[in-house]
Every structure is written in structure tokens, then in C-alpha cells.
Amino acid sequence: MKILSTLSIIAIASIGFINSAAADLMIFPAKGQSNEQTEKDKYSCYGWAKGQTGFDPMKAPTTSTAPPSQQKKSGGVARGALGGAALGAILGDSSRSARNAGIAGGLIGGVRQNSANNKTAQNTEQWKQQESSNYANNRNQYNRAYSACLEGKGYTVK
């Protein structure tokens, strides 16, 4: 479920980026091309740029890699407590030693579990940033190709 919501957030952010990137390009018919000719040339250059870059700005954005696992670990406290209690039983013969070792083991297990969960969150954030960067790079390559095509057909593109 979290993976689906993550992908939805990326898709929504990317769609906003598509609209702003397309709006950023200003196309002027420098050689007096008609509106009809301009639309034909835009469509032609769309196809050419898509073929050159492999990027289609009309398609919904997708991720290039699978997201990292979102499964958070649990039970670290219990596993640590059991391990600590076992160690306490081995090292000392009193129940107090075993209990103290169990508490220490539980604390250590909890810290390890928290650290692992933080690492999962960091990996997810890093993945999101990488996917956004990949999308932006692909879009920029497409825009460069699209602009080059239009300029070759006598348009000024800014």
C-alpha cells in the first residue's frame, strides 16, 4: 500500500513538472509559418524527439527501478531481551543477572530495530530523489531534441 502511495506522489509531482516544462517552451514562427503549419511541425518534431530520446512527454511518468522495501522490522526488543536473558543465564546464575541482561538486550534490540527502520526511510527518500532526477534528465533531453527539430524547421524556440 505504501509503495502505491509513493508511486502516486511521484506521478503527481511529475505531471506537474510535465505541464510546467511544456509551458516553458516558447515557439515563434520566425519564417511566417501559418498556425496549421506550426501545428504540423510541432507534431512532427514531437515524434522525432521522442524517437531520438526514448522519452514521451505525453505518457504518464513511470519509475525506472522498483522502490526499496517498505517493510519495517519489528520484534527487535523481544529478540534482544531473549538473547540478553539467555546470555545472563549463561554468565550468571541469579535470576537478577538474567533479568538485567534481558533488559539490556531489549534496549539494544530496540535501538537496532529503530536504526534499521531509519535506514529503510533513508533508502526510500534516496530512491525518490533518484527517480525525480532521472525523470528531469530525460525530460531535458527530450526538450533539447524537440527544440533542435523546431529550430531546424525555421522556428525560434526559447
Q: What is the pLDDT of residues 55-104, one digit of tens each?
A: 999 998 887 777 777 665 555 555 655 555 555 555 555 556 555 655 66
- Using DSSP, state whether 70 is helix, strand or coil: coil
In the chain, which ranges are E strands? 27-29, 155-157
CB neighbour list of residue 153: distance below 8 Å, 6 or more residues apart? 33, 41, 44, 45
Q: What is the pLDDT of residues 21-51, one digit of tens each?
A: 455 899 999 999 999 999 999 999 999 999 9
Q: Report which of 42, 61, 4 is spatially closest to residue 146, judged by C-alpha positions.
A: 42
pTM of the entire structure? 0.57
What does the mean pLDDT of the chain come to?
A: 76
Mean pLDDT value of segment 124-148: 93
> pLDDT-based confidence at 110, cuts 50/70/90?
low
**Cβ pair 107, 143 in contact under 8 A:** no
Report the DSSP beta bridge partners of residue 155.
29
Q: At 143, which amino acid appears?
A: N
- Using DSSP, state whether 69 is helix, strand or coil: coil
- Given 3-state DSSP classes, what are the helix, strand and coil percentages for the chain, each rounded to the nearest 5? 75, 5, 25
